[in-house]
């Protein structure tokens, strides 16, 4: 890897925002960790990371994190960070190893700095804060340099935290992109010389984001950060030995524009713990668990075949679309049953399934790690129709959040603030304070489909 020992490159943008989407998993969560096939899609909810570089020349330079959604605010002096250990690892270890493992001596050297984060908060909040802060700091040590100017990283997300919608992966993609841009390891969108440069940039973002996911989850498959990076519906099979060697990812460009209802059970859980639960089951009952994982793999394969066999999946309408929804919906039901067998459902997720599916108008499964978090339902009717509105009201009446959405098509994006009418288009106060997703997006001038959009994407 290129190591920049010196100030930020002259051409690197000073103030900018990066953004990445959340995701839903349509088929194959958990099984994907063990090399089985999964299908995932980006959603409209997104994370935004605003990078504000100080022009001050004071000798005491600081790295400051303001992660507003979780109430984290913390600074470290840049000169007090363990640079010699980080540079030791950067010179000694290959980039592949740096981005796929946590180096014990660097993690160890950062521990005392992480213990200074949110010392007076309750244990749960402290864990959330320290997970996010240690992930950022670890990546910073491997991508930044000791001569950096003071800088504040403001994080806002419209994705609920820990709900199975890929909040951690989308923040990991934002951390990776911001640091790669800031320390000139990356061509900006629009400046990529050709398709190879674009692929290389996306590959780099995704690689470093996977490191962020490893720091937050331990053993991620990599599907969440891949979707948040590329912003496309993908089929994904993790590299492994034997029959399926090497990572296999394919963009499903013919995937139909389906209406999806996301319901949040409001039951908190941790992805790392749910993944651990499946591993424990696999250790206890290896053959039975492998049979379930293989059945999930088979269902994902069948879903791919159904999508491919639809003449014009993307533009399917009326009866054809309803037939596809039913075929995929029945497979989602089976996939959900197998996730129940793996032990990762929750009574609230089963309640949501009953509330939606007993209407006869939807097909529901849990999405993401389970144990709480969200479900997704494929709907046979249009947004705003009597049937869909009744389902939304039913869910809300039972204390759940309901959000009807189509899938998004925007992956990781970048906005240089000097292009935002001299930074005036960006409303920092509203960005920090905005409550609703639309307020945060408006503050960040995020209108990706507008002809005069200041946002650029690596695609
Ligand atoms: N908006 C946010 N601001 C700061 N940190 C966040 C934010 N969202 C997620 N995180 C970090 O990610 C962790 C949540 O990760 P977790 O994997 O449990 O949830 P998830 O990514 O939503 O779920 P899944 O991986 O199943 O989609 C939090 O503990 C926190 O450290
Ligand atoms: C549960 C899991 O399969 C999906 C989490 O969104 C974990 C992973 O793939 O890393």
- What is this model's ipTM? 0.96
* C-alpha closest to that of 443 among 453, 451, 452, 432: 432
Supply the CATH number for residue 271's domain: 3.30.70.890
Lowest mean pLDDT across 27-31, 296-300, 421-425? 421-425
Largest CA distance in the chain: 68
- Same domain for 297 and 203, yes or no, is no
Instruction: Answer positive or negative: Cα dihedral of 71, 77, 80, 83.
Output: positive
- Same domain for 393 and 431, yes or no, is no
Residue 145 has pLDDT above 50, yes or no: yes
The answer to whether position 242 is within a domain reads no
- Same domain for 230 and 313, yes or no, is no
What confidence tier does 2 reach under pLDDT thresholds 50, 70, 90?
Answer: very low
- Same domain for 144 and 117, yes or no, is yes
- Answer whether 213 contacts ligand 1 (Cβ < 6 A): no
Range of the domain at 268: 255-405
- Same domain for 144 and 173, yes or no, is yes
CA–centroid distance, 185 to ligand 2, in Å, is 28
Which residue, of 382, 405, 428, is where some domain finishes? 405
Q: Which of 69, 122, 224, 354 is catalytic?
A: 224
* C-alpha closest to that of 142 among 212, 69, 79: 212
- Same domain for 42 and 176, yes or no, is yes
- Answer whether 368 contacts ligand 2 (Cβ < 6 A): yes
Q: Which atom of ligand 1 is nearest to the CA of 161?
A: 8
CA–centroid distance, 308 to ligand 1, in Å, is 33
What's the whole-number average pLDDT of the chain?
91
Q: Which atom of ligand 2 is nearest to the CA of 274?
A: 1
What does the pLDDT read at residue 452? 85
The answer to whether position 281 is within a domain reads yes
- Same domain for 227 and 261, yes or no, is no
Q: What is the dihedral of CA 203, 209, 211, 216, to 10 degrees?
A: -160
- Same domain for 312 and 167, yes or no, is no
Tell me the C-alpha distance between 30 and 276, whole Å: 10
- Same domain for 23 and 119, yes or no, is yes
Residues 6+ apart with CB under 8 A from 373: 162, 163, 164, 165, 264, 265, 267, 269, 349, 366, 367
The answer to whether position 7 is within a domain reads no
Supply the CATH number for residue 83's domain: 3.30.230.10
The answer to whether position 268 is within a domain reads yes
The answer to whether position 25 is within a domain reads yes
What does the pLDDT read at residue 3? 38
Q: Which atom of ligand 1 is nearest to the CA of 159?
A: 1
The answer to whether position 5 is within a domain reads no
Which residue, of 405, 423, 439, is where some domain finishes? 405
The answer to whether position 195 is within a domain reads yes
- Same domain for 187 and 262, yes or no, is no
Which residue, of 405, 426, 441, is where some domain finishes? 405
CA–centroid distance, 133 to ligand 1, in Å, is 12
What does the pLDDT read at residue 260? 92
- Same domain for 276 and 174, yes or no, is no
Total number of domains in the chain:
2
Residue 11 has pLDDT above 50, yes or no: yes
CA–centroid distance, 168 to ligand 1, in Å, is 4
The answer to whether position 245 is within a domain reads no
pLDDT tens-digit readout, 89-115 = 999 999 899 999 999 999 999 999 999
Task: Note if 194 is an active site residue.
Answer: no
pLDDT tens-digit readout, 274-324 = 999 999 999 999 999 999 999 999 999 999 999 888 766 555 666 788 888
- Same domain for 186 and 317, yes or no, is no
Instruction: Answer positive or negative: Cα dihedral of 73, 79, 85, 90.
Output: positive
């Amino acid at each position: 890897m290129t190591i920049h020992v010196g100030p930020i490159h002259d051409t690197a943008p000073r103030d900018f925002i990066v953004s990445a989407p959340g995701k839903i998993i349509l088929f194959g969560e958990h099984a994907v960790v063990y090399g089985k096939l999964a299908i995932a899609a980006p959603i409209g909810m997104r994370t935004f990371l605003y990078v504000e570089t100080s022009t001050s020349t004071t000798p005491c330079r600081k790295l400051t994190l303001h992660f507003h959604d979780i109430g984290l605010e913390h600074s470290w002096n840049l000169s007090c960070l363990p640079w010699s250990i980080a540079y030791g690892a950067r010179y000694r270890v290959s980039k592949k190893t740096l981005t796929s493992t946590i180096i014990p001596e660097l993690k160890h050297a950062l521990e005392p700095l992480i213990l200074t984060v949110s010392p007076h908060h309750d244990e749960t909040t402290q864990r959330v804060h320290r997970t996010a802060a240690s992930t950022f700091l670890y990546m910073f040590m491997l991508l930044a340099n000791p001569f950096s100017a003071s800088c504040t990283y403001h994080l806002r997300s419209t994705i609920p935290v820990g709900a199975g919608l890929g909040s951690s992966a989308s923040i990991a993609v934002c951390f990776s992109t911001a640091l790669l841009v800031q320390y000139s390891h990356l061509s900006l969108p629009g400046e990529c010389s050709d398709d190879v440069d674009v692929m290389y940039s996306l590959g780099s973002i995704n690689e470093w984001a996977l490191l962020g996911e490893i720091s937050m989850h331990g053993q991620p498959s990599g599907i969440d950060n891949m979707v948040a990076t590329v912003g496309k519906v993908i089929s994904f099979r993790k590299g492994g030995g034997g029959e399926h060697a090497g990572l296999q990812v394919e963009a499903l460009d013919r995937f139909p524009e389906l209406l999806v209802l996301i319901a949040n059970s409001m039951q908190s859980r941790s992805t790392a713990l749910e993944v651990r639960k499946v591993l424990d089951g696999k250790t206890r009952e290896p053959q039975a668990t492998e049979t379930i994982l293989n059945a999930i793999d088979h269902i994902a394969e069948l879903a791919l075949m159904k999508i491919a066999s639809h003449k014009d999946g993307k533009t399917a309408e009326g009866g054809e679309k309803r037939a596809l929804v039913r075929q995929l919906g029945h497979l989602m039901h089976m996939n959900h049953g197998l996730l129940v067998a793996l032990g990762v459902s929750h009574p609230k997720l089963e309640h949501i399934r009953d509330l939606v599916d007993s209407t006869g108008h939807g097909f529901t499964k849990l999405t993401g790690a389970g144990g709480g978090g969200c479900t997704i339902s494929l709907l046979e009717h249009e947004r705003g129709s009597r049937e869909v509105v009744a389902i939304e009201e039913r869910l809300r009446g039972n204390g759940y959040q309901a959000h009807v959405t189509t899938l998004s098509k925007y992956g990781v994006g970048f906005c240089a603030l000097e292009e935002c009418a001299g930074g005036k288009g960006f409303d920092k106060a509203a960005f920090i304070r905005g409550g609703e997703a639309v307020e945060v997006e408006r503050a960040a001038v995020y209108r990706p489909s507008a002809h005069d959009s200041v946002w650029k994407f690596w695609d």
